[in-house]
Structure 1
Amino acid sequence: MITIVIPVHNRRELTRRCLACLAVQTYRNHRVVVVDDGSTDGTDEMIRQQFPDVIVLKGDGNLWWTEATNVGVRYAQEYDVAGEQNFVLTLNDDTEVKPDYLQTMVDAYESYKPCLIGSVSVDIDNPDKLEFAGTYSEFYFAKGGPLAAEYNYDYKELVKRATYVKSDSLPGRGTLIPMQVFTEIGLYDSKRFAHYMADIEFSVRAQKAGYKLIVNTKSLVYEYVKATGLFLNQKQSWKSFIDSFTSIRSPTNLTVRYNFAIAHAKTKHLYFLCDVGRICAGFFLRKARLMKPM
């Protein structure tokens, strides 16, 4: 059994499209759990009418991504049967997948277990553009980056060159997790990572516990890139850049980055300073490119 956990909040149409993809999966031994964290746009009514088999768990708007996902995981644990090989699949509602998606995930797990299986993601508006194919990370000076760069951000090139990629972290956007992983290392850390980096931190913990992190090139997620918090406006203002250091909605929230450094970096405070420096340098480079005469 795969329990697909999807946190949602006021994105009814995106949620509908995502659920429609899951309704036609060739791998049938799955259930969908939507954690609706206080939506006011009729998301729950849409699900009730169009997807009556989907389980909807309600939040009050204060769960954010991490605790909303934990709510779904706890539901899966409640109905887990000892001795069975069951899974949680974390997925975001701003994604779409093909009918064989779940089957490719299960097949990959059987090939590489014990492991977590992550998905390749591409831009739904430009399906050849590779958005995610794993990460390289080192925990001394905050170096690393996207492995998609090794394939020129080209999905076709990735498929030609690899069937899988070993990664140093996995996002919540399409990751298959054996239930025993939660038993061994616990749930997502909602106290220190309320909205961003909880998925990354969880996967790093899983890797430390001996689980490989595998990105399966056949497991493809089409991502609404412009709908995600990871879409950074190239014309970001100075004010919004500074505000991003304290916003719970920002992946560059300094408290979150500091918590990750303390939890997992070899050099802790030095890693944090290098990480902040890298973020600032990236912003300055983007500004410099915009100011450069054409």
Structure 2
Amino acid sequence: MISIVIPVHNRKDYTQQCLACLSIQTYRDFQIIVVDDGSTDGTTEMIHREFTDVIVLKGDGNLWWTEATNWGIRYAQQHQNSRKTNFVLTLNDDTRVDTNYLQTMLDAYQTYQPCLVGSVSVDSDKPDKLEYAGYAGSEFELRTAGGRHVAADYGFSYQELSRQVAFVESQSLPGRGTLIPMAVFDKVGLFDSKRFVHYMADIEFSIRARKAGYRLIVNASSVVYEFVSATGIQVEKGVSLKQFIDGFTSVKSPTNLRVRYNFAMAHSNSKLLYFAFDIGRICAGFLLRKIGVMRHT
């Protein structure tokens, strides 16, 4: 049984499209748990009307991604059939998937277990544009905040990735389409909603799972089509200096200083040195992008 956990907030159209894709999966032993964290746009009403089998848990708008996801996992734990092998699939609502998506995830798990299975992410508007295909690095990366996204190794082309490999072994996995055996939560706990309220909880959890002995596999045939413009603050796009600085304190920002500090303290041997390198890398990237824009104007 796969319990698909989807946190949502005021994105009814995205949620509707995501649920429609899941409703026609070839693999049928699954349940969908939507955690609606205080939507006011009729999301819950739409789900009750159009997707009657979907379980909806209602929050008050203060759960954010991490605790909303934990709500869904706890529900799945409490209602699981102990006679089956149970999984949680974390998924965002600003995505769509092919009809065989769940089957490809399970097939990958059977091949590479014990593992967590992540998805390849592509741009929904440009399906060959590879957004994510794993993360390359080493234990040393957790000292200097280095490493790279594997997508670059294939020229950011999904066609090239799928031609060359069946899977990529990653150093971490995002929550945007990751299949997690239920036993992993018993071993390492849930997502850390105290230190990572909205961003980096998925990455931090996957690192804990890897340290506990689980492989982190990105399956080349498991594709998530991502609506790139809907994925929160786009730090790599043309943000202003004020927006960049505000991102250091915003819950909605992946560059939130408290979150980056908490991650450094939790997983880096060098701790403050890692934090300094991490923030330095973020600032340098912003400055280089600004210089690039100025050169082309």
Q: TM-score, normalised by structure 1?
A: 0.98
Q: Name the structure 2 match of 1:118.
A: 118
Tell me how far apart the structure 2 counterparts of residues 49 and 9 of structure 1 sit (CA, whole Å). Answer: 18
One-letter identity of the residue aligned with 1:257: R
Q: Aligned-pair RMSD on alpha carbons?
A: 0.9
Tell me how far apart the structure 2 counterparts of residues 158 and 233 of structure 1 sit (CA, whole Å). Answer: 23
CA drift of 1:231 comes to 2.8
Q: Name the structure 2 match of 1:254.
A: 257
Give yes or no for contact 2:135–2:149 (8 Å, CA) kept in 1: yes
**Would you say 1:236 and 2:239 are equivalent positions?**
yes
Alignment of 1:121-270 (within 5 A): 121-137=121-137, 138-229=141-232, 231-232=234-235, 234-270=237-273
CA drift of 1:145 comes to 1.7
Q: Name the SS for the 1:32 alignment partner.
A: strand
**CA-to-partner distance for each residue in 1:173-228, whole Å, 9 max, x for gaps?**
00000000000000000000000000000000000000000000000000000100
**Would you say 1:84 and 2:87 are equivalent positions?**
no
Alignment of 1:20-35 (within 5 A): 20-35=20-35
Q: Name the structure 2 match of 1:75.
A: 75
Task: Spell out structure 1 runs of 4+ moving beyond 4 A.
Answer: none
Gap runs ≥5 in structure 1: none
Tell me how far apart the structure 1 counterparts of residues 235 and 290 of structure 2 sit (CA, whole Å). Answer: 13
Tell me how far apart the structure 1 counterparts of residues 236 and 135 of structure 2 sit (CA, whole Å). Answer: 22
Q: Name the structure 2 match of 1:279.
A: 282
Tell me how far apart the structure 2 counterparts of residues 110 and 224 of structure 1 sit (CA, whole Å). Answer: 29
Tell me how far apart the structure 2 counterparts of residues 203 and 230 of structure 1 sit (CA, whole Å). Answer: 22
Identity over the aligned pairs, expressed in percent?
Answer: 64
Q: Name the structure 2 match of 1:292.
A: 295
**CA-to-partner distance for each residue in 1:13-45, whole Å, 9 max, x for gaps?**
000000000000000000000000000000000
Give yes or no for contact 2:235–2:244 (8 Å, CA) kept in 1: no
**CA-to-partner distance for each residue in 1:43-71, whole Å, 9 max, x for gaps?**
00000000000000000000000000000
Q: Name the structure 1 match of 2:4.
A: 4
Tell me how far apart the structure 2 counterparts of residues 171 and 147 of structure 1 sit (CA, whole Å). Answer: 13
CA drift of 1:266 comes to 1.5
Gap runs ≥5 in structure 2: none
CA drift of 1:136 comes to 1.7
CA drift of 1:281 comes to 0.4
Q: Name the SS for the 2:44 alignment partner.
A: helix
CA drift of 1:230 comes to 5.5
